[in-house]
Amino acid sequence: MRRGTRALITAATALIVTACGGNDMRHDTRDTVRVENGEVRGVAHADHTVFQGIPYAAPPKGELRWQSPRPAADWAGVRDATRPGNPCPQVGSSYSDTKATDEDCLFLNVTTPSTEGRRPVMVWVHGDGAIGAGHHFDATALATKGDVVVVTFNYRLGVFGGFGLPGLDGSGAFGLRDQRAALEWVRRNVASFGGDPGNVTLFGVSYGASAAAAHLVSPASRGLFHKVIAHSGFALVDLPAEAWYPGLGALPWLAWRDTAEIEGIGQAVAAELGCADVDCLRGLPAEELLDHPQVMNIFQPVGYGNADLPAVPAEAFAAGEVAKVAVLAGNTRHEHRGIVDIFRGPVTAEDYPRLLAAAFGDRAGEVAREYPLSAFESPSRAWAAVLTDRVWARPTFRQHELLSAHVPTYAFEFADPAASENGASHSTDIGYLFPDEELTGGQRELSDAMIRYWTDFARTGDPNGDGSNGLPHWPEFSHGRHVQSLAPGAITGVDYRAEHRLDFWADK
């Protein structure tokens, strides 16, 4: 797959699959540790140890399908933790050939520079919500260069993570509850891997960043993490018509649905599958659920108006009803380019006014004058610029404003124009935290800088750390609405409001 299109984007979110190598640091390390269910053996390298496929909850199958995660069973002897566990059920896509049907999938992976000591812990929530797995992200560079313990994990996706029916406890939130169970496992067990359970940073991209926002709001998640990092999340995103793929109507929220709506959709799906109750549905093979048209995407949004997510984040952020933890958040300079490329394909000059009319109605002419085709290299780039600014930049900046009124907030924009064929498109920044061999010299330096910022934030709640990391100073967002631009050889503040024409979009 081409670099740049490796960003795995679905109708509600994205995921990028990357790999990385280590460095020459050396620490004492053990390949066998004890966790609450027994001993596990990983793979010890010169500068880190990796443990994979550790169950953090019981297999959510059979009668446990669409129930809250239950404790994992104990095992005798030493469990092999040298290979990943099963991905959660998913159908794959045109940009990801991962397909899976085994519901025994609630596994996590730990990468640690040393099983001794107490290091900051970073818990990664992968994106997409319908495809992906934690082990797709090799955390070696992040763990060793940043001297942190990194945990990645799987959680229930699509219909298995977001299904709902009237009277079903947890409707729309099973994936969210899995994530919480993983955080609870980290609190109980991460000390065995050299991690500090009192210093946990929850971080994620796209759907994973939106999930992090849900945990910020959820009272049930309080105390399980102490900082949050969000890459290109959907916490405040609404969609104009035609903004994601052809024929999609306007959506008031991209990441959230009222629980009652999710339960109504679930009733309709159950009827189409010939079931009158949840017991019947639990008896269906996973393959049959996966074969339902669009069922993985229908249930990606998280349900709100319940104990797991009492309100949509926009309301909770405004009221300050969030965990009082530091937040580092941002998006990419050219967010929507890859989404246009993958989900719509080339936009023609004839398409452009039609799309503007569908999205903005009688305001379409104003948008066309602000974003004339003559100012862009192609109609596709014009349409992507419109949606980058309207769909991504406006709500991201508003999120910074709301959060910074209540918690320390640091804002970024990833801006490497060579990150992909679509520039700094959605989720291309993730390849700089989980770097691969495709990065050039300048990009590798940016990757190292981002790892230092991110891990200093995990360590102290401030990306500047103690001020000795040698990087450009990064002020809080509240200091002049500061947004830190991240590009090779150009780490500096950016006039984000002007760059993304936020005054123009204020009332649209």
Q: Please report whether residue 147 resides in a domain.
A: yes
> Mean pLDDT throughout 75-90?
97
Neighbours of 372 (CB within 10 A): 11
Any domain includes 253? yes
Q: Give the domain range for residue 433.
A: 7-507
Q: What is the pTM of this model?
A: 0.94
φ/ψ of 314, rounded to 5, equals: -55, -45
- pLDDT > 70 in the chain, percent: 94
Give the count of domains, the chain.
1
The confidence score (pLDDT) of residue 29 equals 67
Does 328 map to a domain? Answer: yes
Round to whole Å and give the CA distance between 464 and 447: 16
Q: How confident is the model at residue 393 (pLDDT cuts 50, 70, 90)?
A: very high
Asked if 96 is an active-site residue, the reply is no
Query: Which position among 135, 136, 334, 426 bears the catalytic label?
Result: 426
- Quick check: is 2 in a domain? no
Which residue among 335, 400, 413, 447 is the active-site one? 335
Amino acid 92: pLDDT: 73
Is 404 a residue of the active site? no
For residue 478, is it within any domain?
yes
- Over residues 322-343, the pLDDT tens digits come to 999 999 999 999 999 999 999 9
Mean pLDDT of 307-318: 97
Question: What is the DSSP annotation of 20-49?
Answer: ----S------SEEEETTEEEE-EE-SS-E
CB–CB of 417/487 below 8 Å? yes
Q: What is the mean pLDDT of the chain?
A: 93
Average pLDDT, stretch 70-80? Answer: 98
For residue 295, the model assigns a pLDDT of 78
Would you say residue 269 lies in a domain?
Answer: yes
Question: 97-132 b/e with 16+ CB inside 10 Å = b?
Answer: ebebbebebbbbbbbbbbbeeebbbbbbbbbbbbbb
Instruction: Report the C-alpha gap between 197 and 340 in whole angstroms.
Output: 41
* pLDDT (tens digit per residue) in 230-289: 999 999 999 999 999 999 999 999 999 999 999 999 999 999 999 999 999 999 999 999
From 156, 139, 153, select the one nearest 50 (Cα to Cα).
139
What CATH code is carried by the domain that includes residue 421? 3.40.50.1820
Domain assignment of residue 1, yes or no: no
Active site (annotated) includes residue 335: yes
Contact 22, 46 (CB under 8 A): yes
Task: Judge residue 437's burial from the number of C-beta atoms within 10 Å of its C-beta, 0-12 exposed, 13-18 middle, 19 or more buried.
Answer: exposed
Q: Is residue 212 part of a domain?
A: yes
- 398-422 burial: b if 16+ Cβ within 10 Å, else e: bbbbbbbebbbbbbbbbbbebbbeb
Q: Predicted confidence band at 456 (pLDDT cuts at 50, 70, 90)?
A: very high
Catalytic residue among 96, 171, 192, 206: 206
